[in-house]
Amino acid sequence: MVAIADYGAGNITSVENILRAVGAEYVLAGSPRDFARAAGIILPGVGAFGAAAASLRASGLFGALRAAAADGVPFLGICLGLQLLFESSEESPGAEGLGLIGGRVIRLAAAGKKIPHIGWTSIDIAKRGRILSSVKDGEFFYFVHSYGAQSTERGAVAATADYGGVFDACVERGNIFGCQFHPEKSGAAGRKIIVNFLDMCGGRGAALPNAEKGGAAGSANAGTTGVARSANAGISGAADSANAAAEGRVKNER
């Protein structure tokens, strides 16, 4: 079962939609104990770096996420979730990130371009790791953000993108992964990334055995506050490009 960190600053619905589309079992994790059975963790995020980090601490998830990462649980940060993997952001001076990847987040240079960066941009693959398996170099993904990561661990950079200045678009180090773009809104290419991540969860969080037969919804442990769900594989549509509602929220996305 995959746990989606639910801390009041995540764009959870689109992540739920893609997990349903690929027939994955998941739980909304709003407290540390909800990670107990997690085969993998997804950290989505919208809003400001400092506010999101504060929400993680207030919910008790900050330490739980770091502990799970240290235990080797596959961990995927999406959009602001990627930024929170880093140590700090110039958006929120003094706020500390999870520090799972060395480096910091800075405002996009965006020379001659509008900020925020909204739309489809190609990525340049820097290394062939697990998260980008079967993804083509130069593939386009959907971005909505004003800040970008600059890792001091260049070996952890899986791909970069250029929007009037180069930033780290995807990172991978051990069990830690992050995408500045939204794989759940990036059509078939994004779906590959989600499936790659689920495969790294040892099958425990990936497609359910009866998914192709329309598997029934899973249930959470009674002791958890999250609601476990599964999808039937009859839902074939992957999340696609952002719609007007996504653009309407752009002022809150990073």
**Could you tell me the two tokens for 91?**
């958006």
CA separation for the pair 146, 227 (Å, rounded): 32
Q: pLDDT tens-digit profile of 171-202?
A: 999 999 999 999 999 999 999 999 999 999 97
Report the run of H or E that residue 5 belongs to, with start and end: strand 2-5
Catalytic residue among 25, 79, 117, 201: 79
pLDDT tier, 252 (very low <50, low <70, confident <90, very high otherwise): very low
Please report, rounded to a whole number, the percentage of residues in the chain having pLDDT higher than 70.
Answer: 80
Model pLDDT, residue 77: 98
Model pLDDT, residue 250: 41
Residue 107: strand, helix, or coil: strand
Question: Does the pLDDT of residue 117 top 90, yes or no?
Answer: yes
Question: Does the pLDDT of residue 170 top 50, yes or no?
Answer: yes
Q: pLDDT tens-digit profile of 3-58?
A: 999 998 877 999 999 999 999 999 999 999 999 889 999 999 999 999 999 999 99
In Å, the largest CA–CA distance within the chain is 54
**Do 214 and 232 contact (CB within 8 A), yes or no?**
yes
pTM equals: 0.82
Q: Catalytic annotation on 91?
A: no
3-state SS of 137-168? CCCEEEEEECEEEEECCHHHEEEEEECCCEEE
Q: pLDDT tens-digit profile of 83-96?
A: 999 999 999 999 99
Model pLDDT, residue 203: 58
CA separation for the pair 142, 224 (Å, rounded): 33
CA separation for the pair 157, 125 (Å, rounded): 9
Q: Catalytic annotation on 87?
A: no
Helices 187-200 + 12-21 axis angle, to 10: 80
Closest CA to 135 of 79, 180, 187, 192: 192
All structural domains of the chain with their residue ranges: 2-252
Average pLDDT over residues 201-227: 40
Average pLDDT over residues 102-111: 97
**Pairing mode, if any, of strands 103-107 and 176-179?**
unpaired
Model pLDDT, residue 11: 78
Count the neighbouring beta carbons within 10 Å of the beta carbon of residue 94.
Answer: 6
Count the neighbouring beta carbons within 10 Å of the beta carbon of residue 200.
Answer: 20
| Higher per-residue confidence, 42 vs 203 | 42
State in words which class domain 2-252 has.
alpha beta
Secondary structure letter of residue 207 according to DSSP: B
Catalytic residue among 16, 139, 172, 184: 184
Q: Catalytic annotation on 145?
A: no
Model pLDDT, residue 222: 31
Catalytic residue among 179, 182, 201, 253: 182
* Residue showing tokens 């140590």: 87
